[in-house]
Amino acid sequence: MRQARWLAPWKDSLEKPSIYHIITRVVERRFAFGAEEKEKFRMFMRMYENFSGCRVLSYCIMCNHIHLLVEVPPKPEDGISDADFLKRLSALYNEAFVADVASQMEEARHEGGLEGGNPERVEEIKARFTYRMHDLGEFMKGVLQRFTQWFNRSYKRKGHLWEDRYKSVIVESGTAARMMAAYIDLNPVRAGMVVDPAEYRWSSYGEAVGGGPKGNGKKAREGLVRAIFSDDPEVGFDATEWKRASRRYRMLMGMALERKPSNAKVMVRSERVEKNYENYDDDRGLSKSRDNGTVLPELSMAAMLKHRVRYFTDGAVIGSKEFVNEAFASARERFSAKRKDGARRMRGSGKAAAGQLWSLRDLRV
């Protein structure tokens, strides 16, 4: 079973999100990425996000590997409108190229002088590009190939940059998605690079709090809001919910680092980050309490996030017992007849999640 090939069986569902934790490593795990390389990767990631319709909920660009939490929404039932289609093209192609495609579509719509023209021809033109949209494999292929081309050209090298194929783990919305997002954003803390995740520029939380290269961090905030409230269909990708979402997220990460959430402001040394923190409500009142409604199911297992959790990178499917068993049932032919169900309890560094989060793979301690 190759993890990279696992796709959510509900990938075209309008009801259940298809969320994946993606991990890809530099060949031979070389420490190849400095500040410039990390900025370039983020730029290409955002370009393909805008083009493909796939959404990055959380990310962290390390020196020799990348973590992404990506949601792949289904294609619109009525197809992609011309305006949205051309807007997406502009994320990857220059103005002249997009204008040429628009001209071809316009000609097809008036072909033969008939009302409506040739709609089939219009769809053929769109299909040259739309097959790469709303598709996890095409999204990753585009990002990794574009970055590799830039990297090889910059360093006058040839050949592969990435180690094998990327790994992917299917993640349930809600608790699993929040835990995975925080796990990703805590990578530089676990590596000893920073003491607070807000200090790391090339992560979703660092961009959301510090502003990112364009100074507002809106895209990162939208992604994290979605990750944090992925079990609330009313929220979606709404950056205006960041104030509420950030309090909940800082609380989870503070518990993971065994710090009081109210100390987060003190720990942030960056002037730019500190300025952004001043706009947020103090979360001193947030505590693990059922009385004030702030208790979250993930807080009891948050401390495990300061360690490497193999299930989060190798578990194939992570979520509730019902969620994992549903994925197992949809791929029953992959397993031996002796295996009766899919959900496996987490052990080792993931044992704190036992009974709350389950894995499809039973990993050795």
For 303-322, the pLDDT digits (tens) are 899 999 999 999 999 999 99
* Mean per-residue pLDDT over the chain, rounded: 85
Check pLDDT > 90 for residue 207. Answer: yes
The answer on 225 and 295 residing in a single domain is: yes
Distance between CA atoms of 185 and 316, rounded to whole angstroms?
20
Structural domain includes residue 30? no
Alpha helices for the chain (secondary structure H): 35-52, 82-89, 95-109, 119-130, 136-154, 175-185, 187-190, 204-210, 218-228, 242-256, 264-267, 271-277, 311-314, 321-330
pLDDT of residue 168: 94
pLDDT band at 4 (very low <50, low <70, confident <90, very high): very low
The answer on 196 and 109 residing in a single domain is: no
The answer on 294 and 192 residing in a single domain is: yes
pLDDT band at 149 (very low <50, low <70, confident <90, very high): very high
The answer on 295 and 207 residing in a single domain is: yes
Check pLDDT > 60 for residue 27. Answer: yes
Question: Closest by alpha carbon to 310, among 167, 189, 175?
Answer: 167
pLDDT of residue 62: 97
Check pLDDT > 90 for residue 26. Answer: yes
Check pLDDT > 50 for residue 272. Answer: no
Structural domain includes residue 355? no
pLDDT of residue 278: 38
Calculate mean pLDDT across residues 49-63.
Answer: 97
Structural domain includes residue 239? yes
Calculate mean pLDDT across residues 55-70.
Answer: 97
Least confident piece of the model among 44-48, 111-115, 255-259, 322-326: 111-115
Number of separate domains in the chain: 2
Calculate mean pLDDT across residues 240-248.
Answer: 91
Structural domain includes residue 330? no
The answer on 301 and 188 residing in a single domain is: yes
pLDDT of residue 215: 61
Residue 343, Cβ density class (10 Å: 0-12 exposed, 13-18 middle, ≥19 buried): buried
The answer on 199 and 121 residing in a single domain is: no
Check pLDDT > 80 for residue 6. Answer: no
pLDDT greater at residue 102 or residue 266: 102
The answer on 298 and 205 residing in a single domain is: yes
Count of H helices and E strands in the chain? 14, 7
Distance between CA atoms of 316 and 144, rounded to whole angstroms?
21
pLDDT of residue 139: 96
pLDDT greater at residue 295 or residue 198: 198
Structural domain includes residue 356? no
Query: Coil, strand, or helix at residue 285?
Result: coil
Q: In the listed set 306, 339, 358, which residue is the last one of a domain according to the structure?
A: 306
What does pTM read for this prediction? 0.88
Least confident piece of the model among 174-178, 232-236, 245-249: 232-236
Question: Closest by alpha carbon to 43, among 214, 215, 218?
Answer: 214
Structural domain includes residue 286? yes
Check pLDDT > 90 for residue 176. Answer: yes
pLDDT greater at residue 4 or residue 318: 318
Least confident piece of the model among 19-28, 103-112, 208-217: 208-217
pLDDT of residue 262: 47
Structural domain includes residue 74? no
The answer on 279 and 215 residing in a single domain is: yes
The answer on 196 and 120 residing in a single domain is: no
Structural domain includes residue 353? no
The answer on 235 and 122 residing in a single domain is: no
As given in the structure block, the two tokens for residue 338 are 């002796």
Least confident piece of the model among 20-29, 86-95, 114-123, 216-225: 114-123
Tokens 């009313």 sit at which residue?
234
Domain, as residue range, for 90:
82-130
The answer on 212 and 107 residing in a single domain is: no
Q: In the listed set 91, 107, 130, which residue is the last one of a domain according to the structure?
A: 130
Least confident piece of the model among 156-170, 207-221, 274-288: 274-288
pLDDT of residue 113: 66
pLDDT of residue 267: 41
pLDDT of residue 210: 83
CA 39 to chain centroid: 17
Distance between CA atoms of 179 and 297, rounded to whole angstroms?
10
Check pLDDT > 70 for residue 69. Answer: yes
Tokens 């720990």 sit at which residue?
267
pLDDT of residue 265: 44
Check pLDDT > 70 for residue 284. Answer: no
The answer on 117 and 199 residing in a single domain is: no
